[in-house]
Each structure stands twice: as structure tokens, then as C-alpha cells.
Amino acid sequence: KQEVTQIPAALSVPEGENLVLNCSFTDSAIYNLQWFRQDPGKGLTSLLLIQSSQREQTSGRLNASLDKSSGRSTLYIAASQPGDSATYLCAVRGQGSSNTGKLIFGQGTTLQVKP
């Protein structure tokens, strides 16, 4: 059974720092991995989607990497800003669920960027 873990559960950094959020998964047979952002009381906004054949994806100050063999993904945020404060969720879609769209979510990392 696929399990997704995110460490740390919470992170507080001063503005301007570069930071890394971690996501690990137990079954390397994945279809893709998706990083989401969730603001308090809001829905999920998709940030980056990495297919199983890809090693990384970049969008602006965000870079996500994927290492299937070790069951790990990282989300790198460069030059953090207070507006980056949110909960970040990673979710894995298994190869076996490629026809269902079912995602297995981690518990999330709540990030606070202090001015």
C-alpha cells in the first residue's frame, strides 16, 4: 500500500531564505507526483506535476525534483517571500491507479515565511 510522508510538518523561515520541502513515498511504481499549495480555508492549487519519466520541473522560483528509485521528491523554493506562507502538499498517483486518477496525499508541510 502506497504511503506518502512529508517532513517537516511545519517550517518557519525568515524572508529571503531558500528552502526545501521533502516528500517520500513507499512504492516507487508511480505514474506521477504532484505538488499543491493550500491557503487557509481555500482549495488546492496545483504547483508542479512531474511524470514518472521526468527528473524535475520548474516554475518560477519553484523547482521540484523526483527520484523514483529512492522514493523521494523535493520542492525547492528560492528567495522565499511572506506570500509563500501556506501548506504544501505532495500527492502520488500510482501506476496501478493510472485509470482512476486516485491520488495518495501526504499530510502536508505548513510553511511560514516571516518578513
Partner 1 sequence: DADVTQTPRNRITKTGKRIMLECSQTKGHDRMYWYRQDPGLGLQLIYYSFDVKDINKGEISDGYSVSRQAQAKFSLSLESAIPNQTALYFCATSDPGTEDTGELFFGEGSRLTVL
Interface with partner 1 by CB under 8 A: which residues?
Answer: 4, 9, 31-32, 34, 36, 41-46, 49, 51, 89, 91, 93, 98, 100-103, 105-108
What letter would DSSP give residue 55? S
CB of 43 to partner 1, least distance (A): 4
Nearer to partner 1, 9 or 20 (CB): 9
- CA count, 13 A, side-chain hemisphere, 110: 4
CB of 108 to partner 1, least distance (A): 7
Sheet of strand 72-77: strand arrangement: 4-7, 19-25, 72-77, 62-67, 56-59
Nearer to partner 1, 32 or 73 (CB): 32
CB contact at 8 A, 82 and 113: yes
Nearer to partner 1, 69 or 100 (CB): 100
Nearer to partner 1, 89 or 113 (CB): 89
Polymer length in residues for the chain: 115
CB of 105 to partner 1, least distance (A): 4
